[in-house]
Amino acid sequence: MLPEFRSLWENTLGWSPSLQQQQQLESLYQGISTKNRQLNLTRLSEPEAFWEKHLWDSLRGIIPLGWERITTASFIDIGCGAGFPGLPIAIALPEARVTLLDATRKKMVYLNKLIAQLGLSQVNTVTGRAETLGKDSQHRERYDVALLRAVAAAPVCAEYAFPFLKVGGIAVLYRGRWNEQEQAALNQALNQLGGMIWQVEAFSTPLTESKRHCLYLKKTEPTRDLFPRAVGMAKQAPLGN
């Protein structure tokens, strides 16, 4: 069973799950742990580690955006893997629309089952590369918020994310460490992509006090047709280097 940690939620994020949300978080945990060994989705199966690294961390990232602003927003989780941070966010924001994107088909087949089990009717999945779907008119410039956790270096994430965002939209990059050189490279990439760093947040996780950073990038101009470049280019020749 997952711990409830009601006052920890309240004290750290100003939010705590309703009874229904707690049941959904529990089903998410059970679903992931059961499949874990087979698919190697995540190594975190201890309930407290799962709570901190997957549930708390996922939701911590959206707090600076403000609850009112995002209640009915459209999110895309790029490189969602087993569904993080997108699934906990979909549970916490039942009126938001959440698209989960990953290149690995077997993960998406599994995620579709899990989403149905959790009754998350506002979540849909897309299988493919960010560089390909970012050119697709069904997805290009359609989202208020793009989420990327542990996907690639920051300039690469920015190139993946910006084509999906509406002008004024925000990309949230979930990271461990962060330093000035990385920030300089990211700023150069954002000049080319038409955006800026809106906020950088440094924080510690509440149970193990691990250091984390979240970067908030604002899209200020429509993305040029050049972006995203061909599959693999963002990684091979990152902007800003």
Using CB under 6 A as the criterion, which residues of the chain lie in contact with ligand SAH when the complex forms? 79-82, 84, 102-104, 129-131, 149-151, 160
- Tell me the one-letter amino acid at 80: C
143-149 sheet: strands from edge to edge: 123-127, 97-102, 74-78, 143-149, 165-175, 211-219, 195-204
DSSP three-state, residue 234 = helix
Closest to ligand SAH by CB, 213 or 220: 213
Closest to ligand SAH by CB, 6 or 105: 105
Closest distance to ligand SAH from the beta carbon of 241 (Å):
18
CA distance 219 to 168: 5
Closest to ligand SAH by CB, 93 or 172: 172
From the number of C-beta atoms within 10 Å of its C-beta (0-12, 13-18, 19+), residue 198 rates as middle
Closest to ligand SAH by CB, 52 or 102: 102
Closest to ligand SAH by CB, 149 or 219: 149
Closest to ligand SAH by CB, 207 or 220: 207
What tokens were used for 49? 């580690």
Closest distance to ligand SAH from the beta carbon of 140 (Å):
15
Please give the angle made by the CA atoms of 216, 219 and 225, to the nearest 5 degrees.
135
Closest distance to ligand SAH from the beta carbon of 226 (Å):
17
Closest distance to ligand SAH from the beta carbon of 49 (Å):
13
Residue in 67, 54, 78, 58 with CA at minimum distance from that of residue 171: 78
Give 177's strand partners: none
Q: Which helix (H) or strand (E) holds 115?
A: helix 105-118
Closest distance to ligand SAH from the beta carbon of 132 (Å):
8
Closest distance to ligand SAH from the beta carbon of 186 (Å):
18
